C-alpha cells in the first residue's frame, strides 16, 4: 500500500510505500475510494493539536470498500462500502461512555490523529465505528459528510430550534449544513472574511437569505450562531449578533485565543458552547437523513500524491466547499 505520511508536525507529508496490514479481530481493512481533506487535518499537520501518534497517516473522512474482515466482526461483509469517521474507538467503560456521551470518552482513539487514517490506498478501522453507506451517492460527495457533515449536524443540535441561524465561516461544513437548515425551513445567515464576495455569492446560491463579512451586523438578530472558522475573535462578534437567550456554538477542534469582552455581551442568558467529536448515533442519524435532504456537496478532487497541495489550498481558501483525495 501507499500513503502520505506525517513524520513531524509542520513538515510536508511524504509519499511512502508501506507493507500491507491485516486487521485485528474487531477491525476491517478497506480499499480507500476517497478521503476528504478537513481543517482538522491542517491542525494535526501544523502541530496545533498535541501528541499525534507519529509517524501518522492523516485523514478521517474515509469512504472505502471492505477487502478484509477480522474474526470477531459482525454485520459487515467483504465488498461493502463503509465510511470511517474521526471517532475511531472508545473504551466503553469510562463515565462518559456510560452516560451515552462517548464523544467525551476518557480514552478515545481518533482516525488520522491517534490512529492511522485515510490519506492512503488502504486503511484499517475498528468495525464498530464504521458506518455502512450503501451505494447511493458518489464516493467524493459522501466523504465530506463524515466529518464536515457530522460535526455540523452535532453543532446544529446544540444551536437549538431557532429560526435564524448564522454561520461564521462558509467552507466544507457550513455549505453542507446550510442545506440542512434550509430543508428544515429555517433561515441561514452567512458570514465570511470581509470582502470575500465570491464565497458570499456561493452561500446565497445555497439558500442563505443574507451573506456578508464577519465585520458586519446581520439585518436581524440571530437565534444562534455556529462558528466554523478557527478565529477566536469571532466569538464576541457572534455574541453581538445573537438575541437574548441565544447560543454561540464553536464547532472547531482548535481556535485562536478568544479576546476579552465585556460581561454585557454575554448577559441576558446568552451561552457559548463547544462541540467535541461525535457519537456513533450522530453518524447514524445524519447519514440516514442526508439522502432525504438531497445534499449537494461541492468538491474539488486531488490525487493522493497531491495531499500537500490540497492542504495548502484549504489553508489559502482556494476552493469552495470541500477537498477530496482520490487514491
pLDDT in tens, 13-47: 999 999 999 999 999 999 999 999 999 999 999 99
- pLDDT recorded at residue 301: 98
Strands (DSSP E) along the chain, which ranges?
A: 2-5, 14-17, 27-37, 62-69, 81-84, 87-89, 109-110, 122-126, 131-132, 164-168, 187-192, 210-213, 222-227, 242-250, 271-274, 299-303, 322-326
Phi first, then psi, for residue 208 (nearest 5°) are -60, 135
% of the chain surpassing 90 pLDDT: 100
Inter-residue contact 99 to 155 (CB < 8 Å): no
pLDDT band at 169 (very low <50, low <70, confident <90, very high): very high
- pLDDT recorded at residue 219: 97
- pLDDT recorded at residue 68: 98
Q: Which CATH superfamily is domain 149-274 in?
A: NAD(P)-binding Rossmann-like Domain (3.40.50.720)
Give the mean pLDDT of 280-289. 96
Instruction: Tell me the per-residue pLDDT of 171-196, one tens digit each, with 9 for 90 and over.
Output: 999 999 999 999 999 999 999 999 99
Q: Which CATH superfamily is domain 2-145+278-326 in?
A: Medium-chain alcohol dehydrogenases, catalytic domain (3.90.180.10)
- pLDDT recorded at residue 311: 98
Domain map (residue ranges) of the chain? 2-145+278-326, 149-274
Give the three cell numbers for residue 196: 470575500
- pLDDT recorded at residue 173: 97
By CB atoms closer than 10 A (0-12, 13-18, 19+), residue 22 is: exposed
pLDDT band at 74 (very low <50, low <70, confident <90, very high): very high
Nearest partner of 282 among 104, 151, 93, 98, judged by Cα: 151
pTM for this predicted structure: 0.96
- pLDDT recorded at residue 86: 98
Amino acid at each position: 500500500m501507499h500513503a502520505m505520511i506525517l513524520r513531524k508536525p509542520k513538515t510536508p507529508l511524504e509519499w511512502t510505500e508501506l507493507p500491507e496490514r491485516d486487521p485485528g479481530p474487531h477491525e476491517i481493512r478497506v480499499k480507500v475510494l476517497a478521503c476528504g481533506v478537513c481543517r482538522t487535518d491542517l491542525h494535526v499537520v501544523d502541530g496545533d493539536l498535541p501528541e499525534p501518534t507519529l509517524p501518522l497517516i492523516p485523514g478521517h473522512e474515509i469512504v472505502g470498500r471492505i477487502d478484509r474482515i477480522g474474526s470477531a466482526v459482525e454485520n459487515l461483509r467483504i465488498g461493502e462500502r463503509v465510511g470511517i469517521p474521526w471517532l475511531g474507538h472508545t473504551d466503553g467503560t469510562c463515565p462518559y461512555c456510560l452516560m451515552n456521551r462517548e464523544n467525551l470518552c476518557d480514552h478515545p482513539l481518533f482516525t488520522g490523529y491517534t490512529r492511522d487514517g485515510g490519506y492512503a490506498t488502504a486503511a484499517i478501522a475498528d468495525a464498530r465505528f464504521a458506518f455502512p453507506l450503501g451505494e447511493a451517492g458518489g464516493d467524493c460527495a459522501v466523504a465530506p459528510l463524515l466529518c464536515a457533515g457530522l460535526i455540523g449536524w452535532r453543532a446544529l443540535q446544540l444551536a437549538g430550534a431557532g429560526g435564524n441561524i448564522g454561520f461564521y465561516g462558509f467552507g466544507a461544513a457550513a455549505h453542507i449544513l446550510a442545506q440542512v437548515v434550509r430543508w428544515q425551513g429555517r433561515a441561514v445567515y452567512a458570514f465570511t472574511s470581509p470582502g470575500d464576495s465570491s464565497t458570499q455569492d456561493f452561500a446565497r446560491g445555497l439558500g442563505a437569505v443574507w451573506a456578508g463579512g464577519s465585520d458586519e451586523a446581520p439585518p436581524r438578530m440571530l437565534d444562534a450562531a455556529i462558528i466554523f472558522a478557527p478565529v477566536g475573535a469571532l466569538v464576541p462578534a457572534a455574541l453581538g449578533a445573537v438575541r437574548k437567550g441565544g447560543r454561540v456554538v464553536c464547532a472547531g477542534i482548535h481556535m485562536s485565543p478568544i479576546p476579552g469582552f465585556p460581561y454585557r455581551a454575554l448577559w441576558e442568558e446568552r451561552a457559548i458552547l463547544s462541540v467535541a467529536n461525535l457519537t456513533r448515533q450522530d453518524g447514524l442519524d445524519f447519514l440516514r437523513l442526508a439522502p432525504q435532504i438531497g445534499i449537494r456537496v461541492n468538491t474539488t478532487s486531488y490525487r493522493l500524491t497531491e495531499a500537500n497541495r490540497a492542504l495548502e489550498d484549504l489553508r489559502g481558501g482556494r476552493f469552495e466547499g470541500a477537498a477530496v483525495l482520490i487514491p
